Structure 1
């Protein structure tokens, strides 16, 4: 009972501090961002560009110095000397699915059981999360809510960082199924001495056998047009065999990556994405040949092998990019650090990625291609959604990344968040002394 009361007190204290800004209203008139440094997201930069959007859709992206425009009845915003970017995309994220790790009532990222393809992260997404406004303030306007736990965790969905509820916020429903590949070894963190314990996976063969049976059943089920009665678990996997859904496979060791891809191919799944990929550099030729993209886990970490160079995680995006592998960056399980995603891309530039625009693609257009939303977002191009932001400086540099304006589907977002409120509270407190 005491634990229950203390939990209620924590939740009440958090909610009483302040509320998130109300979701933005739909765009009512055309808006033109004039004279900014426009980063298209496909590698192109327009030094003095203009971006015009209406009813949530980009209508014009041109060089302002060479194009004459009719700006009658258009709201003109001068962003001279500032940077305009497509909204950043955070893949493989649990933002919106968990708030405070120590408070169980705020964690809804997994279900019990080993094989749960029918579990949907979509309906657990909490648009009232205090974390969502903080990621918007670093330019992250889209996130992939992914399930965790078990062997087959469930399906993810692509969410916008604005909306009253998950129905309002969803951009793409059930984009893929998540599989935790049963590798040869497992790693556990020992909190007694803060070490990583590596041990053999004794149930590996048994787990792979269960996976083969499940995927065989799902493929046979997918061949039936109107199955009666409907099997919810197998129905959730139907899109894997038509290419409508990705199979996202969490795998880090090189041999596990190869076996996971070969497994997917053998059961008839055409679209496979490796998530984590800490040893992707060891199997880069295989990934290129198989045309398998990689969503890397956090770069700001130490290598997992004692004999590896200490900067290998930083160099990994550059190694894959130069080998022709489609690469995206994520923070995966570290939802509390998701707001730092653009700075990972900045780090990658200093450790081998060819240039800043290539690094930007790893959190915009590359990610959009992998997630299957590149016709909607990821670049600033005519006909795509007006999900973009304006930064006073380089968005990949934490010293100059100051987001001044953000738009999601043309809606102007309120950039207030808990970090800013706390800053103002304590700034005032200490200025008075």
Structure 2
């Protein structure tokens, strides 16, 4: 009996071992590395031709022209290539959901309507097969955000490599997420697949507990030593002292103005608009109130029938030229996060003529909004060596060919499910005989 069990277990091990797996997390950097000869896109608008970047123990120690000293380092010649800071995907559910149609793989939504104490951080799944795919287009940081209810919980900024969430986390609980109850809601007709706007009949029903929650939280925070501790209000403490953002999911112009005024009246110091489809209509208000915007995917149709078809593409340019800090995201479309750099490429073709300014939309701007700009977002001495080497322009899908990735100096394996499937079926069809021969 024991022999039979051992045989079965051995067979199972062989079968499971034969299955393709995500690559193991990268090992810590053990020696100084210097990348030389590349065009370095710093992320702040600066470009260094024939540049050199040196990093040790996960931190950039030198960056500059070809004459930058590299003594004692392992020199990797990347002449003709391009080096970029790791791209940052805000407002993402990568790592929180895997297959949309399989409920057991969805872990971004908690039961209830007011959940500021819920943390997306601990649900982040580093074994997700989506994470390696986003690395292969240069997206090395992602903001795991909660969804659902009126106050969804707190997000955290995660690195796209690690054995577990403790390894992957870069910045814990950077902000609380709120779904603003708007005047209108989208109604989708499954019979003819059409979408329309209708009045939100439950708006006041959602606003009342929201007002009460913020008022109670503000009163609670003003107490010197509240007893007993209230976990929901404790989670909101950072909103009132400016150490956390309040991310407001809101699209329509009137709702944007109303939501920002509401939270500022409540004493919230750092609101951020997420979505912002109507942001161009209230650009002066956003500038005056110093409110940054994380736009949803640009590759969409306009919100209204009478708007220019290219308005979503021009939206980053309109906001940026007005002085509003703008970042780009794919929001709930987690499976498309790998295409984030091409959103910036689109913005570059519709109003943002400087390619380096478009790069800011997915690097330094995003880092500033999330409060991680002292660590990442640009390639500067003292910051994390989170970067990638591309064969060409990373904002162009034709030339974005990522050849090397370093996250905090760790050399990351670039294998992923897409590449494995490509090789499997490439072999299959290259071996298959033409139809004429089969007959």
TM-score interval for Structure 1 and Structure 2 normalised by the shorter chain: over 0.9
Q: How does 1:350-429 map to 2 (within 5 A)?
A: 350-429=349-428
On the 8 A contact 2:116/2:154 being kept in 1, the answer is yes
Inter-partner Cα distance in structure 2 for 1:228 and 1:74:
55
Structure 2 counterpart of 1:45, from 41, 44, 47: 47
* CA 1:15–1:93: 2 relative to 1, 3 Å: farther
Inter-partner Cα distance in structure 2 for 1:14 and 1:45:
47
Q: Is the partner of 1:385 in helix, strand or coil?
A: coil
Please state if 1:272 is matched with 2:271.
yes
Deviations along 1:369-420, one digit per CA (max 9) or x if unpaired, are 0000000000000000000000000000000000000000000000000000
Deviations along 1:239-258, one digit per CA (max 9) or x if unpaired, are 00000000000000000000
CA offset at residue 209 of structure 1?
2.3
CA offset at residue 189 of structure 1?
2.5
Number of the residue aligned with 2:117: 118
Deviations along 1:191-237, one digit per CA (max 9) or x if unpaired, are 22111131111122232222111011111212234322211111110
Please state if 1:344 is matched with 2:343.
yes
On the 8 A contact 2:253/2:282 being kept in 1, the answer is yes
- TM-score normalised by length of structure 1: 0.95
Number of the residue aligned with 1:219: 218
> Structure 1: which 5+ runs fail to align?
1-12
CA offset at residue 132 of structure 1?
0.2
Number of the residue aligned with 1:8: none
- Stretch of structure 1 that moved more, 291-300 or 204-213: 204-213
Number of the residue aligned with 2:170: 171
Q: Is the partner of 2:382 in helix, strand or coil?
A: coil
Deviations along 1:79-113, one digit per CA (max 9) or x if unpaired, are 11100000000000000000001000000110111
Q: How does 1:247-266 map to 2 (within 5 A)?
A: 247-266=246-265
Inter-partner Cα distance in structure 1 for 2:111 and 2:230:
19
> Structure 2: which 5+ runs fail to align?
1-14, 433-439
Deviations along 1:57-81, one digit per CA (max 9) or x if unpaired, are 00111111xx352x33210010111
Inter-partner Cα distance in structure 2 for 1:397 and 1:272:
32
Greater C-alpha Rg:
2
Structure 1 counterpart of 2:57, from 49, 55, 58: 55
Please state if 1:187 is matched with 2:189.
no
Inter-partner Cα distance in structure 2 for 1:111 and 1:38:
42
Q: Is the partner of 2:39 in helix, strand or coil?
A: strand
Inter-partner Cα distance in structure 1 for 2:413 and 2:68:
32
- Stretch of structure 1 that moved more, 220-229 or 287-296: 220-229
CA offset at residue 421 of structure 1?
0.2
Number of the residue aligned with 1:33: 35
Q: Over aligned residue pairs, what C-alpha RMSD do you find?
A: 1.4
Number of the residue aligned with 1:246: 245
Deviations along 1:260-302, one digit per CA (max 9) or x if unpaired, are 1101110000101000000000000000000000000000001
Deviations along 1:139-185, one digit per CA (max 9) or x if unpaired, are 00000000000110100000000001111100001100000001100
Inter-partner Cα distance in structure 1 for 2:128 and 2:137:
16
